[in-house]
Amino acid sequence: MRILGIETTCDETAAAVVRLKPEGGGEILSNEVRSQIEEHAPYGGVVPEIAARAHVEIIDGLVARALRDANVELSDLDGVAAAAGPGLIGGVMVGLITGKALALAAGKPFIAVNHLEAHALTARLTDDLTFPYLLLLVSGGHTQLVAVEGVGEYRRIGTTVDDAVGEAFDKVAKLLGLPYPGGPQVEIEAAKGDAGRFDLPRPMLARQKPDFSLSGLKTAVRLQAERAAPMSPADVSDLCASFQGAVVDVIVDRTRMGLRVFRTELGHPSALVVAGGVASNQAIRRALMRFCGESGLRLVLPPPALCTDNGAMIAWTGIERLRLGLVDGLDFPARPRWPLDQNAERVHNGKA
Ligand code: KG4
Ligand code: ZN
Annotate 318-349 with DSSP letters as a single string: HHHHHTTT--B-TTPPP-S---SSTTSPPPTT
CA of 289 to the centre of ligand 2 (A): 22
Q: Is the pLDDT of residue 351 over 80?
A: no
Q: pLDDT over 90 for what percent of the chain?
A: 91
As a whole number of angstroms, the distance between CA 59 and CA 102 comes to: 12
CA of 234 to the centre of ligand 2 (A): 32
Q: pLDDT tens digits for 279-292?
A: 999 999 999 999 99
CA of 176 to the centre of ligand 2 (A): 25
Whole-number pLDDT of residue 349: 60
Q: Is the pLDDT of residue 216 over 90?
A: yes
Q: What is the pTM of this model?
A: 0.94
Same fold, 2-123+305-322 and 131-303: yes
User: What letter would DSSP give residue 77?
Assistant: -
The DSSP element (H or E) to which 154 belongs, if any, is strand 153-159
Confidence of residue 348 (pLDDT cuts 50, 70, 90): low
Count CB neighbours of 201 within 10 A: 14
Q: Where are the domains of the chain?
A: 2-123+305-322, 131-303
Q: Which atom of ligand 1 is nearest to the CA of 164?
A: 12
Q: Among 8, 34, 139, say which to mutate for ligand 1: greatest number of ligand atoms within 8 Å of CB.
A: 139
CA of 178 to the centre of ligand 2 (A): 22
Q: Which atom of ligand 1 is nearest to the CA of 280?
A: 26
Q: Which atom of ligand 1 is nearest to the CA of 173?
A: 14
Q: pLDDT tens digits for 167-180?
A: 999 999 999 999 88
> Which residue lies with its CA nearest to atom 13 of ligand 1?
183
Q: pLDDT tens digits for 326-347?
A: 999 999 999 999 999 988 888 7
Ligand 1, pocket residues at CB < 6 Å: 10, 139-141, 166-167, 169-170, 181-184, 187, 276-278, 280-281, 308-309
Q: pLDDT over 70 for what percent of the chain?
A: 99
Quick one: which of 242, 118, 215 has its CA closest to 160? 215
Q: Please name the residues in contact with 261: beta carbons below 8 A apart, sequence gap of 6 or more.
A: 157, 158, 210
Q: What is the CATH number of domain 131-303?
A: 3.30.420.40
Q: Is the pLDDT of residue 10 over 90?
A: yes
Terminal Cα distance for the chain, rounded = 33
CA of 275 to the centre of ligand 1 (A): 10
Confidence of residue 181 (pLDDT cuts 50, 70, 90): confident
The third-level CATH classification (topology) of the domain covering 2-123+305-322 is Nucleotidyltransferase; domain 5 (3.30.420)
